Amino acid sequence: MNARLNIRLDRLLANLGYGSRREIQALARNGRIALDGQILRDVEKRFAVHDDFAARLTIDDMPLDPLPGLVAVLHKPVGVTCSHKEAGPLVYALLPERWRRREPAISSVGRLDKDTSGLLLLTDDGAFLHQAISPRRHVPKRYIATLDRPLRGDEAATFASGALMLNGEDKPLAPAALEPLGAQQAALTITEGRYHQVRRMFAAVGNHVVALHRVAVGGLALPDDLAPGAWRLLDDAQRAAVLQIQQA
């Protein structure tokens, strides 16, 4: 197995938000760090860190946080913002507190509006983030929109045309697939990520979105058993599913 990292343990733990290197050395001196059940005092030593390291290393008898390179799926509730800076409740407050001090930092993979709920990916993996949001990859995002007015019947053709121009833009939208689910509800799959795109698309056909929920990104659906506000880590197959990479 190849090592994912070769790193001084105090640096790894500092990067995971456990404290400054000095604080981590104090934890080790006090016998609070263990590897395979044995107290580990030399945290200046380099370790070849494999995927199983997080399960082997404990701090105060608790398994280590996920190693750098994580991807999590969060069921974003309405009313929280995808931002590190804005006032008000932030999606990051739904993650473990220590994760806010991780380096590299965790950020959302694209954004959902404050009023949108559903599947939000969070990662500290720059390569994954880049692939998932790259316009060239056309990762589909599926939403359920609840509308203020009944569908007229021509929306699917307009959205599929590849000619719809949003207000204030000079490039038409890529074709998008609309599937009516009821008089005032539809599933919409888009492959771009323009600002307020779904709400603006329905505004462009004379409607108004009253509720918006993202149910899938790429081949990954929001798990039915993930309650609003809850999150879980993705495994390799689920990460590949997001990017629609076929695994051997």
Q: Is 161 in contact with 137 (CB distance < 8 Å)?
A: no
Please, what is the minimum distance in Å from the beta carbon of residue 84 to ligand URA?
17
Tell me the two tokens of residue 51. 């995927």
Residue 15 as a binder of ligand URA (CB under 6 A): the answer is: no
**Could you give the CA distance from residue 37 to residue 34 in angstroms, rounded to a whole number?**
5
Q: Active site includes 154?
A: no
Q: In the set 51, 113, 125, 192, which binds ligand URA (CB under 6 A)?
A: 113
Q: Which of 4, 56, 100, 196 binds ligand URA (CB under 6 A)?
A: 196
| Catalytic option among 61, 113, 115, 224 | 113
- As given in the structure block, the two tokens for residue 191 are 């492959």
Cβ closer to ligand URA: 128 or 143? 143
Q: Would you list the DSSP string of 132-176?
A: HH-TTT---EEEEEEESS---S-HHHHHHSS----TT-SSPPPP-
In terms of CB distance, is 58 or 197 closer to ligand URA?
197
When the beta carbons of 35 and 203 are compared against ligand URA, the nearer one is: 203
Residue 125 in the binding site for ligand URA (CB under 6 A): no
Q: Which of 75, 76, 102, 199 binds ligand URA (CB under 6 A)?
A: 199
When asked if residue 116 is in the footprint of ligand URA (CB under 6 A), the reply is yes
Which of 59, 212 has the CB closer to ligand URA? 212
Contacts 24+ apart (CB under 8 A), 96-102: 96/65, 98/16, 98/17, 98/18, 98/65, 99/17, 99/65, 100/17, 101/17, 102/15, 102/16, 102/17, 102/65, 102/68
Q: Which member of 197, 204, 211, 240 binds ligand URA (CB under 6 A)? A: 197
Q: How far is the CB of 224 from ligand URA (least distance, A)?
A: 21
DSSP codes, 31-53: T-EEETTEE---TTSEEEE-TTH
Q: Are 57 and 7 in contact (CB under 8 A)?
A: no
The footprint of ligand URA on residues 140-159 (CB under 6 A) is: none
Contact footprint for ligand URA (CB under 6 A): 112-113, 116, 196-199, 212
Query: Which residue numbers are catalytic?
Result: 113
